[in-house]
Structure 1
Amino acid sequence: MSRSHASRLPRSSRALQEAGERAAQSVNTTADQISTAAGQVGASAGRMVQAVKPHLRGWIHTVTAPIALVACIVLVVLTPAGFRWNTIVFSLSSVVLFTMSAIYHRGNWSPRVTATLRRLDHSNIFLLIAGTYTPLSWILLERPVAQVVLSIVWSGALAGIIMKVVWLSAPRWLYVPIYVALGWVAVWFLPAFREVGGGALMWLVIAGGIAYTVGALAYALKWPNPAPRWFGFHEIFHVGTVIGWVCHFIAVMMAVASLW
């Protein structure tokens, strides 16, 4: 009996070993299948996102970025030395906004890179608002008033940037009104803008604010969405941004011209 038991032990061990190898192979095969399926799902999701993104997404700011760069260089060169830092701030915030927006919206990025670029893209809106106020306030308003305005606007912009960095998924109904409210701080100082810069400058500031606001509302409401495959609500937002920026750029140029 002991001899028969001894002869069965090796066969049992081999059977267990073979069963273990088959189980391990089955686990590896299943893991490979899961990995392949996950890759296919990820690729499919990427294709779906690409299919949903309008064909013109990002192109508006891609075209605007180099134009803004050239225009801002001219603006800085024409600004008297004592006020040049104001237009440098405006120029940097302008070029950075359009450039980062173009990079973010034109590329197909990994989730981590997308989150980083989105933070920069949304933060740059606050930066441009404060950057636009800088030359207009410093050139057109009395110095104590300008200091108060810029303190309010830059503090609000910094708070907005921190919010977007920390809370990337903040709902649109929260941060879009903050953009709009911060942008319309100028309404209280329009008479002073008109007194120094003239009626045309004041109306350019108003027109730019309206363009920004219309674009922001389209973005917040996701409406109108005229041609989702080519030109959707987000493109309306970008068009509003460009129109608003052009109006304010001309206003800043007029403010600079008043110093000559």
Structure 2
Amino acid sequence: MVQKPSLSRDIRWQRKLPTASVTALGWCLYRWAGVATGSAVDLNASATAITSYSLYGGSMILLFLASTLYHAIPHQRAKMWLKKFDHCAIYLLIAGTYTPFLLVGLDSPLARGLMIVIWSWHCWVFCLKLTIAHRFKILSLVTYLAMGWLSLVVIYEMAVKLAAGSVTLLAVGGVVYSLGVIFYVCKRIPYNHAIWHGFVLGGSVCHFLAIYLYIGQA
């Protein structure tokens, strides 16, 4: 009787370990990526460009840090708050990823308008997640996808103004993110959550390369 809770905690940790490992890898990679992006930025870049890259880099690091802490720390009360932190950081990364593309890559009235919509959406769901983080899981998933694919609003401008490689990496990243949702919702797949985070890492790598290789060098 006394050993069952301990065994249960051990089993839960074994299940969380692969996910925590993937997110920790992501955090380590994006700490380096943040430094690499910062060093690649032209010293004469505008305040808008520097702010955009800073928001993007900060959102990447924050997301993988939040996710690593949530999956690695066993304390239940702490996990409750870390789960909210983790979910809010997802929206922050989406908004942060949009920022260099819209304000630096495109820099048009339509792009700036979409930027206002994206960040307003982020602020709204951020407040919502702080109060109802454990509810409406399907709705949260739909809003993640909708927020990401809202980029189709400026698809024509991206095709005209951005390098083909940047648009390709952006699209591939979006597809990778979306395919990962299959594993997120299929609980019967072994280690489905770790696989889901692997797709998140893959999608974020595509978007990082699109920004680092093309937007940041423009």
Q: TM-score, normalised by structure 2?
A: 0.90
Show the counterpart of 2:209: 250
The answer to whether structure 1 residue 233 and structure 2 residue 199 are counterparts is: no
Range moving further from structure 2, 99-108 or 207-216? 99-108
Distance 1:197 1:147 in 2: 16
Show the counterpart of 2:126: 161
CA-to-aligned-CA distance 1:186-227 (integer Å, 9 cap, x gap):
11212212222222111111111111111123213435x1xx
Distance 1:171 1:217 in 2: 18
Give 1:157 deviation, angstroms: 1.4
Show the counterpart of 1:65: 27
> Larger C-alpha radius of gyration, 1 or 2?
1
Distance 1:149 1:108 in 2: 39
Which structure has more RCO (C-alpha within 8 Å, separation ≥ 6)?
Answer: 2
Show the counterpart of 2:50: 84
Query: 1:161 is aligned with what amino acid?
Result: F
- State the 4+ residue runs in structure 1 displaced beyond 3 angstroms: 39-45
Give 1:42 deviation, angstroms: 4.9
Query: 1:70 is aligned with what amino acid?
Result: W
What are the equivalent positions in structure 2 for 1:180-259 lying under 5 Å apart?
Answer: 180-222=145-187, 225=189, 228=190, 232-253=191-212, 254-258=214-218
Query: 2:211 is aligned with what amino acid?
Result: V
Distance 2:88 2:38 in 1: 24
Q: Quickly say closer, same or farther: Cα 1:55–1:78, change in 2 above 3 A.
A: closer
Give 1:100 deviation, angstroms: 1.6
Asked if the contact 1:140/1:192 (under 8 Å) is kept, the reply is: no
CA-to-aligned-CA distance 1:74-102 (integer Å, 9 cap, x gap):
21222233111110000000011111211
Asked if the contact 2:20/2:72 (under 8 Å) is kept, the reply is: yes
Asked if the contact 1:64/1:242 (under 8 Å) is kept, the reply is: yes
Give 1:142 deviation, angstroms: 3.3
Structure 2: unaligned runs, 5 residues or longer: none
What are the equivalent positions in structure 2 for 1:10-89 lying under 5 Å apart?
Answer: 42-43=5-6, 45-50=8-13, 53-80=15-42, 81-82=45-46, 83-89=49-55
CA RMSD of aligned residues (A): 1.9
Asked if the contact 1:172/1:220 (under 8 Å) is kept, the reply is: no
Distance 1:242 1:45 in 2: 29
Query: 1:99 is aligned with what amino acid?
Result: L
The answer to whether structure 1 residue 143 and structure 2 residue 108 are counterparts is: yes
Query: 1:246 is aligned with what amino acid?
Result: V
Range moving further from structure 2, 125-134 or 138-147? 138-147
User: Which of these residues, 148, 152, 157, is aligned with residue 117 of structure 2?
Assistant: 152
CA-to-aligned-CA distance 1:231-260 (integer Å, 9 cap, x gap):
x110121011111111101111211111xx
Distance 2:107 2:133 in 1: 37
Structure 1: unaligned runs, 5 residues or longer: 1-36
Query: 2:66 is aligned with what amino acid?
Result: M
Alignment partner of 1:57: what SS? helix
Aligned residues: 213
Q: TM-score, normalised by structure 1?
A: 0.76
The answer to whether structure 1 residue 102 and structure 2 residue 62 are counterparts is: no
CA-to-aligned-CA distance 1:106-139 (integer Å, 9 cap, x gap):
2222x21010111101110000000000011001
Give 1:171 deviation, angstroms: 3.2
Q: Quickly say closer, same or farther: Cα 1:172–1:218, change in 2 above 3 A.
A: farther
Q: Quickly say closer, same or farther: Cα 1:236–1:190, change in 2 above 3 A.
A: same
Query: 2:202 is aligned with what amino acid?
Result: I
Distance 1:58 1:102 in 2: 5
Query: 2:22 is aligned with what amino acid?
Result: I
Distance 1:56 1:238 in 2: 10
Asked if the contact 2:63/2:90 (under 8 Å) is kept, the reply is: yes
